[in-house]
Structure 1
Amino acid sequence: MNIRNIAIIAHVDHGKTTLVDKMIHSAKLFRENQQFDDLILDNNELERERGITIVSKNVSIRYKDTKINIIDTPGHADFGGEVERVLKMADGVLLLVDAFEGPMPQTRFVLTKAIQLGLKPVLVINKVDKPNCRPDEVHEAVFDLMFNVGANEEQLDFVTLYGSAKQGWMSYDWKQPTTDITPLLDTILKVIPPPKTEQGSLQMQITSLDYSNFLGRIAIGRVYRGEIAVGMQVALCKADGSVKKMRVKELQTFEGLNRASVEKVQAGDICAVVGLEEFEIGDTIADVEKPEALPRIAIDEPTMSMLFTINNSPFFGRDGKFVTSRHLRDRLLKETEKNLALRVEFTDREDTFIVYGRGILHLSILIETMRREGYELQVGQPRVLFKEIEGQKHEPIETLVVDVPENVAGKVIELATQRKGELMVMEPKGDLQHLEFKIPSRGLIGLRNLVLTATQGEAVMTHRFIGYEPYKGDIPERTSGSLISKDTGPATAYSIDKLQDRGKFFIDPGEEVYGGQIIGEHTRGSDLVVNVQTAKKLTNVRAAGSDENVKIAPKVQFSLEEAMEYIQKDEYVEVTPTAIRMRKIYLDENERKRMEKEFS
């Protein structure tokens, strides 16, 4: 069978999903009169809103009698767990790079994994139609990057294509545009090797899973050796070394955007298996007579943890469907089945769990997904995970890259160094200044907001985990205290107006708040309890000067990630399907004073 298995890797926003769209169109998978949206593969509501790929997807196209299995991978390092497992299905990678930005830190992260697996790269320099692009410099930068991550001679001898995925063309020379993307498809057939298949009994590794209400859990993976057929008895090799016998009920291969049922699948193809029970990602489906397990997928360790607990605020249960600790526990355990980089630890309290992930974005996507499904929960301050190495405390360190206008580069350097960041590289990049820092993961929490404020939103920030290094010392936390509501009830414009000199507010007049809720940021370092429910006393007497118009500054609006980064040790973020609120863990003022020692 003529098959090519190819993974597409790129940094966030370099046009990866748009390129897959064009490949799908060029293979004419749609009827002439069929309506469809852009970003066909980003079908998850959150992916469309944020413009990022979160979950890897499989799709196949047929070109010149060859089936090309395309695997769309996430570009964000927080979803590295997705990338590490799906690259095992591929024989080559399409590395997509922006013609202006060039290779970014997260491109390096995924590329390193691909090079280590020995995959053959094809370089696509995208967006050459943009003004001030620099394709030749970017080509050199990618060559240097490949060399630095340990590519062998065969991998360094890569083919480069230039083009614009948005306009739908690819060419070997960026100054000579073509009319379509067939040069790219021809290159894939010529350069990417067909799957290596060994002789012998069945071996297939499960690299991802799907769920259907009718069929139950479905195992997806690549057949490395032998063949698998419907009705065949197979052995499932588990992580603990045990082997279970099972029967294949149905087989599906990827055809276009859908899956087609088939009777058998040969080595080299990617397929979905129905009928297996109690399997996990990384398990091997093998021959019953002679079961041989493939090496398990190695996933990088989590670097951050957060406390998840049930919602116990006064507004609990108002708009969520799933509010009990049993609901929360079952949902988190279900997530660990397919989200390999996530871990859940039970605590001595029934309603509290510690969840470990790869970063704030990784955890916030989980919380946002749960919220949309109708869950109510509260989360504590994100904490990085320290390690003891040779008796010394070590912490996770990341590379932070900031592209920023030259006149505000100084402010960014100042903010990063306050948080123990070391400036490693500073060079011009077009009309921007390119800065690279080595910074503790702790220092990144809350830094994005400060940098965007200091640069009037013009900074482009990315970061990736590089390893553990000795503890860098204390990092200053938020310097301002919180404004806390004293009572429960709707806030009045009169009260907020009178308290505006005390700080910035996170609520609008008329919004219902409860005692202990954080409703603003104090101008000083201490917390302040305020009464925002007071209404103006009405009298019969009217005087021209005393009824001045109320002018209230607009409230500060927080996204979920910003709220997670903003809270302190003694605060929670309350997340429900319709609201994100911040609150003190102890709502009663007297109890907070008693418990101060616990958080100091």
Structure 2
Amino acid sequence: MQRQDVRNIAIIAHVDHGKTTLVDCLLHQSGTIAAHKKVQERAMDRLDLERERGITILSKNTAVRWKDVTINIVDTPGHSDFGGEVERVLGMVDCVLLVVDAFEGPMPQTRFVLRKALGHGLRPMVVINKVDRPDARPDEVLDQVFDLFVSLDADDAQLDFPVIYASARDGWACVEVDGPRHDMNPLLDAIVERVPPPTIAEGPLQMQVATIGYDDFVGRIAVGRIRRGEVRKGQLIVCLDITGKPRRAKVSRLNGYEGLQQVEIEVGRAGDIVGIAGVTDALPGETLCDVEAPEGLPPIAVDEPTIAMEFIANDGPFSGRDGKWVTSRKLRERLERELQSNVALRVEDTEKPEVMRVSGRGELHLGILIETMRREGYEVMVSMPRVIVHETPEGKDEPYEDVTVDCQETFSGSVIQDLTQRGGELLELRQTEDQVRMEFKVPSRGLIGYRSRFLTQTRGTGTLYKSFSGYGPFKGNFQRRANGVLVALETGQVTSYALETLQERGVLFVEPGDSVYAGQVVGENARPQDMVVNPCKAKKLDNMRQAFKDVDTRLATVRRFALEEALEYINADELVEVTPKAVRIRKRTLDHSERRKQEKQAAAE
């Protein structure tokens, strides 16, 4: 049996391909949101970090009414680092809406989610957006999309996808490239006509929790699609964990979706996407069932982590200056709490009780977690990211990434040389005027620390996108960072007098007035070796009149690291210290003499 009054779709798009503008347009033109009402920019991105970085981290739901049909639209994270979210979202929908820029074409991030969607057997619909661009090439882009589907092993039914041409900015869509351009009705009609309605199974309530929301009044809200039966406010239900262990709960509130808002409803039926409050400890992957017939659904399969790093409570000289939570106990509690909703994360104990090994889907996945924690008031030290290598009968396998590089032709040679030295393989090169697009397959290990070098190589004009591809043969060792670092000798305040001399040694990371401690990295050496320096050295004063007046000290611009840049920069003997107000790089062993002893022992071995 099918429900004809509901359609459930997931929307997939690369950054800046027009996903949010498109959803905004559908909300207004369908009448779901009044025409005079203004929706805030990036309306579907609710987290501060999402708006700042222009990425989707957590899936969101919205609903549009069109011709007596409710169209539930689920926003998917585009980046493979948030694959745990993607897996859960795809279980709620019957179709994926792929939004592609009419000039740029399909990009690596869309490839990852699309591979998952096609693997789930979902039917795709393609929207080629920004057709009004003067450099638009919709026919070529459509061919690229078709080739992409073929490369991802789409079946015949999936290859017979409907195509809509649109300009979300101008508010129109059409079935043909040169068709009438009036409004979004052709897209809304295509969704109603071509998206399969949800198939309803007979039987009592069964719903798998896909994501967890939170409300200040009712607490945790379990969000998912009702597979069968119905649920009402006040109903007694059973929550089954992934082992099948039951616990009872009462539905204190039932939410549906209307536009961007959650609205309270009395009953949810099979095929609806709803939020259920009252199951205080619900976790993603668990099943909510009828009390009389508790029957669990198979757990959601999530890709294994590909990268790991150590999390350590901050024990540096400045520990406790900025943060509220600085102990290893608080750090452990926070990571255990994160595990409840972040299904792609793993946390393991190590030989040292104060050190925890945290594994995730990539640098961005773990970087977002660290950034969230620092904003909550935590202080933490983290180690260099290391890829997780799999041992097989044939040897070692390591994770690989699909990489797309756009840059000026002048810089393409140095980019190809660098990525090749890092184990990469150039798959395709296309040129348009003075711009070059290159497709690579590169070991994830080779990309750690590369982004900052890439920006230097392309003088800030290049763009690099990557997405997890799979595991492949281990490529051997290659160099991460060619230069050594400048390490502070003592604790104190940085002086301009000291920096005037030090800036000749390399690039500085600190400026006059900054507080530093012994063992902190204060710059990059121009040579391969590390060098211990004193950035706190003060000018000796005397009462002799100088022959020349003091000349104003001219200091070069210092380099400041964002969190991800610092994680990419460090070597194995270094840590990134993260507090609510600072990101510092330091040596694992702060004492210079002790560090020298360790280096000698390592050399002797």
> Could you tell me how far apart the structure 2 residues matched to 1:544 and 1:189 are?
86
From the superposition, tell whether residues 102 and 198 of structure 1 become closer, same or farther in structure 2 (CA, over 3 Å).
same
Partner of 1:115: 118
Residue 290 (structure 1) aligned with residue 267 (structure 2) = no
Partner of 1:143: 146
Which segment is superposed worse, 56-65 or 279-288? 279-288
SS at match of 2:340: helix
Residue 128 (structure 1) aligned with residue 131 (structure 2) = yes
Which segment is superposed worse, 238-247 or 155-164? 238-247
Percent identical among aligned pairs is 51
Residue 463 (structure 1) aligned with residue 459 (structure 2) = no
Residue 54 (structure 1) aligned with residue 42 (structure 2) = no
Give the aligned residue type for 2:307: M
Asked whether the equivalents of residues 324 and 377 of structure 2 are also in contact (C-alpha less than 8 Å), the reply is yes
From the superposition, tell whether residues 597 and 536 of structure 1 become closer, same or farther in structure 2 (CA, over 3 Å).
closer
> Could you tell me how far apart the structure 1 residues matched to 2:551 and 2:83 are?
56
> Could you tell me how far apart the structure 2 residues matched to 1:140 and 1:416 are?
28
2:390 to 387, 403, 415: 387
Encode CA deviations 1:294-351: one digit per residue, 9 max, x unaligned: 2221111110001111111111111111212222112111111111111111224332
Which segment is superposed worse, 141-150 or 570-579? 141-150
From the superposition, tell whether residues 332 and 430 of structure 1 become closer, same or farther in structure 2 (CA, over 3 Å).
farther
> Could you tell me how far apart the structure 2 residues matched to 1:367 and 1:66 are?
42
Residue 103 (structure 1) aligned with residue 106 (structure 2) = yes
Partner of 1:582: 585
> Could you tell me how far apart the structure 2 residues matched to 1:597 and 1:375 are?
35
From the superposition, tell whether residues 590 and 274 of structure 1 become closer, same or farther in structure 2 (CA, over 3 Å).
same
Partner of 2:315: 312
1:446 to 428, 449, 452: 449
Partner of 1:279: 282
> Could you tell me how far apart the structure 2 residues matched to 1:598 and 1:142 are?
56
Asked whether the equivalents of residues 28 and 35 of structure 2 are also in contact (C-alpha less than 8 Å), the reply is no
Give the aligned residue type for 2:152: V
CA apart distance, 1:475: 1.0
> Could you tell me how far apart the structure 2 residues matched to 1:131 and 1:11 are?
20
Partner of 1:77: 80
Partner of 2:266: 263
Partner of 1:507: 510
CA apart distance, 1:12: 2.4
Residue 354 (structure 1) aligned with residue 318 (structure 2) = no
SS at match of 2:91: helix
CA apart distance, 1:249: 2.7
CA apart distance, 1:32: 6.0
Asked whether the equivalents of residues 200 and 271 of structure 2 are also in contact (C-alpha less than 8 Å), the reply is yes
> Could you tell me how far apart the structure 2 residues matched to 1:395 and 1:576 are?
32
Residue 519 (structure 1) aligned with residue 522 (structure 2) = yes
TM-score by length of 1: 0.96
Residue ranges of structure 2 left out of the alignment (5+ in a row): none
Give the aligned residue type for 1:506: F
Give the aligned residue type for 1:7: A
Partner of 1:532: 535
Residue 556 (structure 1) aligned with residue 559 (structure 2) = yes
CA apart distance, 1:519: 0.3
> Could you tell me how far apart the structure 2 residues matched to 1:507 and 1:362 are?
28
Asked whether the equivalents of residues 24 and 39 of structure 2 are also in contact (C-alpha less than 8 Å), the reply is no
> Could you tell me how far apart the structure 1 residues matched to 2:520 and 2:265 are?
57
From the superposition, tell whether residues 139 and 32 of structure 1 become closer, same or farther in structure 2 (CA, over 3 Å).
closer
2:422 to 419, 422, 436: 419
Partner of 2:207: 204
Asked whether the equivalents of residues 17 and 72 of structure 1 are also in contact (C-alpha less than 8 Å), the reply is no
From the superposition, tell whether residues 546 and 587 of structure 1 become closer, same or farther in structure 2 (CA, over 3 Å).
same
Give the aligned residue type for 1:282: G
Aligned residue pair count: 600
SS at match of 2:429: strand
Asked whether the equivalents of residues 404 and 433 of structure 1 are also in contact (C-alpha less than 8 Å), the reply is yes
1:378 to 373, 378, 381: 381
TM-score by length of 2: 0.95
1:236 to 228, 236, 239: 239
Partner of 1:37: 40
Encode CA deviations 1:189-240: one digit per residue, 9 max, x unaligned: 1111211112222221110111234323221100011112233333322212
Residue 171 (structure 1) aligned with residue 202 (structure 2) = no
Residue 478 (structure 1) aligned with residue 481 (structure 2) = yes
From the superposition, tell whether residues 177 and 311 of structure 1 become closer, same or farther in structure 2 (CA, over 3 Å).
farther
Residue 570 (structure 1) aligned with residue 573 (structure 2) = yes
Partner of 1:68: 71
> Could you tell me how far apart the structure 2 residues matched to 1:50 and 1:188 are?
30
> Could you tell me how far apart the structure 1 residues matched to 2:454 and 2:77 are?
25
Partner of 2:405: 402
Encode CA deviations 1:453-510: one digit per residue, 9 max, x unaligned: 1111222211222222221111112121110111111111111001221111001111
Give the aligned residue type for 2:44: L
Give the aligned residue type for 1:400: V
CA apart distance, 1:84: 1.3
> Could you tell me how far apart the structure 2 residues matched to 1:170 and 1:12 are?
20
From the superposition, tell whether residues 120 and 376 of structure 1 become closer, same or farther in structure 2 (CA, over 3 Å).
same
SS at match of 1:595: helix
Encode CA deviations 1:509-563: one digit per residue, 9 max, x unaligned: 1111111110000111111111111222223344454633311101012111110
Which segment is superposed worse, 21-30 or 113-122? 21-30
Partner of 1:185: 188
From the superposition, tell whether residues 342 and 599 of structure 1 become closer, same or farther in structure 2 (CA, over 3 Å).
farther
Which segment is superposed worse, 249-258 or 440-449? 249-258
> Could you tell me how far apart the structure 2 residues matched to 1:219 and 1:125 are?
34
Residue ranges of structure 1 left out of the alignment (5+ in a row): none
Encode CA deviations 1:107-163: one digit per residue, 9 max, x unaligned: 111111111222221110111222322111001111121122122222212111112
Residue 495 (structure 1) aligned with residue 491 (structure 2) = no
> Could you tell me how far apart the structure 2 residues matched to 1:171 and 1:205 are?
37
Asked whether the equivalents of residues 570 and 599 of structure 1 are also in contact (C-alpha less than 8 Å), the reply is no
> Could you tell me how far apart the structure 1 residues matched to 2:90 and 2:292 are?
29
> Could you tell me how far apart the structure 2 residues matched to 1:6 and 1:443 are?
36
From the superposition, tell whether residues 35 and 425 of structure 1 become closer, same or farther in structure 2 (CA, over 3 Å).
closer
Encode CA deviations 1:23-51: one digit per residue, 9 max, x unaligned: 22223444566554211111211111111
> Could you tell me how far apart the structure 2 residues matched to 1:28 and 1:368 are?
38
Encode CA deviations 1:379-398: one digit per residue, 9 max, x unaligned: 11101001111162221122
Encode CA deviations 1:273-307: one digit per residue, 9 max, x unaligned: 11124332111122333322222211111100011
1:8 to 2, 7, 11: 11
SS at match of 2:565: helix
> Could you tell me how far apart the structure 2 residues matched to 1:115 and 1:82 are?
16
Asked whether the equivalents of residues 102 and 138 of structure 1 are also in contact (C-alpha less than 8 Å), the reply is yes
Partner of 1:330: 333
Give the aligned residue type for 1:280: L
Which segment is superposed worse, 311-320 or 231-240? 231-240
From the superposition, tell whether residues 192 and 130 of structure 1 become closer, same or farther in structure 2 (CA, over 3 Å).
same
Which segment is superposed worse, 550-559 or 385-394? 385-394
Q: CA RMSD in A?
A: 1.8
> Could you tell me how far apart the structure 2 residues matched to 1:346 and 1:403 are?
41
